[in-house]
Amino acid sequence: MKKITSLILSIAIFLSITASAQTVKLTPAEKKLAEAITAAQIKNYLYFVASDAMGGRDTPSQGLDVTAEFLKMNLEKWGFKPAGDNGTFFQKITLRRESVDPGKTWLKMDGKSFALGDDFLRLRGNGTAAGEVVFVGDGWLVKSKGLNPYQGIDVKGKFLLISAKGLSQATIAPRPAGVTPADLSGTKGVDWADPVEYARQNQAAGILVIPPEQFFANWAQIKNFLGRSAMYPEKLRSNPGPGSELPIIMLGQSAASALLTDNSLKAPAALGKQLEISLSTKADTATTQNVVALWEGSDPVLKQEMVAIGAHYDHVGTNPNAPGEDKIWNGADDDGSGTVAVLSIAEALAKAKIRPKRSVLFVWHCGEEKGLWGSEYFNKYPTVDIKNVIAQLNIDMIGRSLDPAKLIKCDMPNRPCNEELSGPNEIYVIGKDMMSSELGRIVDQTNQAYLNLKYNTRYDDPNDKNRFFFRSDHFNYAQNGIPIAFWFDGVHEDYHQPSDSPDKIDYAKMEKVTRTIFLTLWELTNVASRPKVDKQLPPELTQR
């Protein structure tokens, strides 16, 4: 009897598992829905979005605003529900633009003046400060690895001089070699701290950065880049309270030599130098927007849940000083292709005679090229209940195909060629299995039941040197605990070049990929229960 009971129990468990993970089977009617998406439709939309009239869709710009209005016009026509701010299709984002005020920015060392631009550059911060200088190596405290460059030193009121092997936007000095995100355990500021966090918490006067040697060799270009005005979304800027305006500067070769004359110094070391600094900026504001729409589901209960689909509709704009006649970066593949693919999916939903059970959330993100601004903003300040988003599908570059003939002609140093492009019946898919086995199964089986494209997952490697997982908008949804899948054709010779134009798009491939994503979306809107998050992201993929 025990054996029989055990057998019955095993069968019950098997049937339960099988019932909760049914194989995707697409009906002829569902496949017919996807046929509303056509290469001709996609091409028509893309020639508008990636036209010279849009000026490269920089964030912010008039061209980006016109593109947003174009999206809104179609969404209104097709009967979508506005899901942005105050009953509109737009989620407005205020941007702050800062530029250095040279008349109020200066540096003195032991009474000697150093010149802004030639001898030092502002990285961040405002205000005046004075104090002694102490050398603290790369400035990272990681107790679990035995790293403490502040041992025995009170840094209050002192400038921390750090020697960086690179530069990080958030932490100034990158994480030391051999230190992984998993090593950064315990309390931040006590058990571990980057140099900026340590300086803030311990009331240092500021941070001075000696950059890698190659920075000195390319100082003119770096000076030009850092001398431009800086822009960022106001609400995304970290504001930890006291010390948030901590002065941080990068030293040129002459100033660095004046400070650190002994190259064999080891941290910690007081340098016996007195520093005075003043940093000042001028600021104004601008606005931009995400475009947000909702297609409401038919099930009275399940429609509270949403499947999110998105693309970034910005690119990098116009450069009047660019060599050659073409000054406009049209961004047809990056990410005009994703922009119009999502628009075509919206149109197909609107044309369908039946509604999906769950709702579908459409978000066209701005500022992806500036650092994933739009998706970060939406995840931190959502205009819907983002906890009800069961998955996010991201489309960023799906319009190009490998042309073997181009491999022969491609010979451009310091630019990608076409070796990494996917083929006409192939697309890279990133992240589908990283957080949810169920999402990965649905993504794969939908494709297998439809056109059976080659889904290439080579970039799922957590140590992918290209870091593609970090480089598009799905990243911020994944950080928010939402399982994601990202479709991507691969970089090519026209990536971030004015030659990324709509005449080079493989529209037949775009049609196949877009139809497949549409049916994947459709399956997700109708599954019995939301895909369970049953995996943790690898530690390497949790911090940009």
Question: Following DSSP, what letter does each residue of 316-360 receive, concatenated?
Answer: --B-TT-SSS--B---IIIIIIHHHHHHHHHHHHHH-SS--SSEE
Q: Could you read off the pLDDT of 25-49 as tens digits, one per residue? A: 999 999 999 999 999 999 999 999 9
Q: How confident is the model at residue 1 (pLDDT cuts 50, 70, 90)?
A: very low
> Which residues share a beta bridge with 207?
160, 248
Distance in Å from the first CA to the final CA of the chain = 57
Residues 6+ apart with CB under 8 A from 244: 200, 238
- 3-state secondary structure labels for all residues of 88-146: CCEEEEEEEEEEECHHHCEEEECCEEECECCCEEEEECCEEEEEEEEECCCCCEEHHHC
Q: Is 389 helix (H, G, I), strand (E, B) or coil?
A: strand
pLDDT of residue 238: 56
pLDDT of residue 3: 43
Q: Could you read off the pLDDT of 275-285 as tens digits, one per residue? A: 999 999 999 99
How large is the average pLDDT for residues 184-213?
94
| Angle value at C-alpha 275, between 271 and 278, nearest 5 degrees | 150
pLDDT of residue 8: 47
Q: Is the pLDDT of residue 240 over 70?
A: no
Q: Is the pLDDT of residue 155 over 80?
A: yes
Q: What percent of the chain shows pLDDT beyond 70?
A: 93
Select the more confidently predicted residue: 424 or 3. Answer: 424
Q: Is the pLDDT of residue 534 over 90?
A: yes
Q: How confident is the model at residue 265 (pLDDT cuts 50, 70, 90)?
A: confident
Burial annotation 305-340 (CB, 10 A radius, 16+ → b, else e): bbbbbbbbbbbbbbeeeeeeeebbbbbbbbbbbbbb
Contact 135, 265 (CB under 8 A): yes
Residues 6+ apart with CB under 8 A from 203: 155, 156, 157, 242, 243
Q: How confident is the model at residue 224 (pLDDT cuts 50, 70, 90)?
A: confident
Residues 6+ apart with CB under 8 A from 126: 245, 247, 279, 280, 281
Helix axes 507-526, 437-449, angle to 10 degrees: 130
Report the mean per-residue pLDDT for the chain. 92
> At 253, which helix (H) or strand (E)?
helix 253-259
Residues 6+ apart with CB under 8 A from 50: 330, 331, 332, 336, 500, 501, 502
Q: How confident is the model at residue 244 (pLDDT cuts 50, 70, 90)?
A: low
Helix axes 62-78, 39-49, angle to 10 degrees: 140
Q: Is the pLDDT of residue 7 over 80?
A: no
Q: Which of 141-155, 275-289, 468-482, 529-543 has the lowest mean pLDDT?
A: 529-543
Q: How confident is the model at residue 15 (pLDDT cuts 50, 70, 90)?
A: very low
Q: Which of 137-141, 224-228, 423-427, 534-538 has the lowest mean pLDDT?
A: 224-228
Any idea what DSSP says for residue 172? B
Q: Could you read off the pLDDT of 373-409 as tens digits, one per residue? A: 999 999 999 999 999 999 999 999 999 999 887 776 6
Q: Which of 39-48, 201-210, 414-423 has the lowest mean pLDDT?
A: 414-423
